[in-house]
Amino acid sequence: MNKNRTLLLSASDIKKKIERISYEILENDDEKDGIILAGIKENGYKLAEKLSKQLKKFSTISVKLCSISLDKVKPTSNNITCSIPIDEFRNRTVIIVDDVAHTGRTLFYAMKPLMEVEPKKVQVMVLVDRKHKQFPIVADYVGLLLSTNMQEHITVEFVEEEAVYVS
């Protein structure tokens, strides 16, 4: 374990953030057709699963879960794929979910499959937003807004003990 890291969010903190965000989504979206949570693999999808469970716990809204896969280092060098047919996004509210928004690059490219159809609305949810944007992406739902320097690294762990660290 890296001793030079600081705990930002514990498992109970993460649970509270997801619960609060699920209430925000329900307050902002009166969607009769339900919503699609599109989690960016790996941690974004794990977060989307947790969010889906909370939404279903608090409401009867239809929630469809899918994953978006892309190469985060070289997003234009490989195909960006989605686990459901692209046509299912048509006229639907889609929330792209990721663990950390740093420059906005991953979220920007994750939206590429949605450009083949016309969704009703596209929103973004992140657990941690670092505000070092280089791409025009603004998160609609944020667990923790954090001012960091470019050298600091945020780690979100969903295996064993859930936690968010900065190092």
Q: What is the CATH number of the domain that holds 25?
A: 3.40.50.2020
β-strand pairing of 141-145 with 35-40: unpaired
Q: Alpha-carbon distance 35 to 64, whole Å? A: 6
Element (H, E) at 144: strand 141-145
- 112-151 confidence digits (pLDDT tens): 999 999 999 999 999 999 887 888 899 999 999 988 777 8
Q: Alpha-carbon distance 19 to 5, whole Å? A: 26
User: Structurally, how many domains does the chain consist of?
Assistant: 1
Write down the pLDDT at residue 56: 92
Q: Which domain does 152 fall in, by range?
A: 6-161
Residue 126 is assigned to a structural domain of this protein: yes
Residue 95 is assigned to a structural domain of this protein: yes
Output the average pLDDT for the chain: 91
Dihedral through CA 47, CA 131, CA 113, CA 95, nearest 10? 40
Q: Alpha-carbon distance 164 to 158, whole Å? A: 9
Residue 167 is assigned to a structural domain of this protein: no
- 34-70 confidence digits (pLDDT tens): 899 999 999 999 999 999 999 999 888 899 999 999 9
Residue 1 is assigned to a structural domain of this protein: no
- Cα–Cα–Cα angle for 25, 29, 35, nearest 5°? 85
30 pLDDT more than 80: no
- pLDDT cut 90: percent of the chain above it: 68
Q: Name the pTM for this structure.
A: 0.92
Residue 135 is assigned to a structural domain of this protein: yes
Write down the pLDDT at residue 2: 53
Cβ-contact 8, 144 below 8 angstroms: yes
Write down the pLDDT at residue 4: 85
